[in-house]
Copies of this chain bind each other. A is one copy, B any other.
């Protein structure tokens, strides 16, 4: 990802665009084929020379064209950048970089999904307690947790593909987008060769609502990463300890406390998510440029273009590695689930009472009465229910017993996996 955003790569794309545009002008009969042949053979650039020229000229694209003209060193060089405006080159090149970044991110998400899918299947039926508000609710399976991350990343893939299409347009339309000095066919040729769509209507620049949408999608993906990271951080808490980040031999958790194994990768991912997200506001502020363009967006994009895509690429890789090596402790999951003995089955008992003809309000009262004994005095829920005459008046001991079967909670895991992973 870093390579896409180097100065060298940027200028290579500029050169490619300039030559493609001139090639189109040959077809148009404006540039002599012979001159183009000379240009193509000799056109080159040198970053240091470009920088030197920019110090005098105060204009990056003019510095670049001047530098290339020096290399061409032939009257043919007058056709270089002919009829183009700087932004034709700048914006189309930025589109190439953004599109290539999107391609990498799409691949990252694909790899991450593969890793998550593997964990989901491994732990498809590993029981653990589901929690709402951080409080035990009802049993679920670890596989379902991974399955929902998988589904979330599937949505992110769809969003990334849409975001890629948003910014995969080029514009070679001149100073204010009228094609006054350059025929639309040049734009078509350049875009076709670069795998871009011609921007239907541009001004001097490609409209920035496209880029805002792109960065918004990256921000959503970052939030999904945070979602997974927070889950892992919770699971690794000392009191929970249902999973741990892999701790390599030789790694030190703390300079002071040798026993510590900290979820530093997932905490790091939480921070990286904040970094990626922060670009969404400036990207939105970039949309309302003045008239046919002002250049306020440029400094913003020079920073968030590379920073945000590189950070997200890094974060997706880091998350992939983290999930792949994540150490999971099924026995701790069971131990946690039974912390309040049998209590997590309370809703099932509530429904059974209702079905047995007890009013909803009475059922609720009966269940809560026994639940509180478990919660406050460490009693066993099933034992309490069996000893409560109002309960046993409605449900037989066997019926009560049956309510504590874990299989009841996992019976639709297959259905859900089919929805998420297909047949």
Say whether A130 contacts B368, CB under 8 Å.
no
**Are B288 and A348 in contact, CB atoms less than 8 angstroms apart?**
no
Given contacts A176-B140, A237-B135, A239-B339, contact A271 B287 (CB under 8 A): no
Q: Which residues of B contact A416 (CB under 8 A)?
A: 177-179, 200-201
Interface of A is mostly: helix
User: For the complex, is A236 an interface residue (Cβ under 8 Å from B)?
Assistant: yes
Tell me if A303 counts as interface (CB < 8 A to partner B): yes
A137 and B300: CB pair below 8 A?
Answer: no
In the complex, chain B residues whose CB is within 8 Å of the CB of A44 = none
A286 contact from B210, B212, B274, Cβ within 8 A: B274
Decide: B224 and A86 in contact? CB cutoff 8 A: no
Are A138 and B180 within 8 A (Cβ)? yes
Closest-CB distance, A261 to chain B (whole angstroms): 7
Q: Mark A161-191, 1 if CB is under 8 A from B, else 0.
A: 0100010000000111111110010000000
Q: Does A260 touch B at the CB level, under 8 Å?
A: yes
CB contacts (< 8 Å) of A294 on chain B: these are: 132-134, 233, 267, 270
Are B212 and A220 in contact, with the CB atoms below 8 A? yes
Complex CA–CA separation, A270 to B56 (angstroms): 23
Q: Are A271 and B296 in contact (CB under 8 A)?
A: yes
Give Cα A339 to B238, complex, Å.
Answer: 8
Within 8 A of B (CB), among A47-84: 56-59, 61-62, 65-66, 69, 75, 77-84
Q: Is A230 an interface residue (CB 8 A)?
A: yes
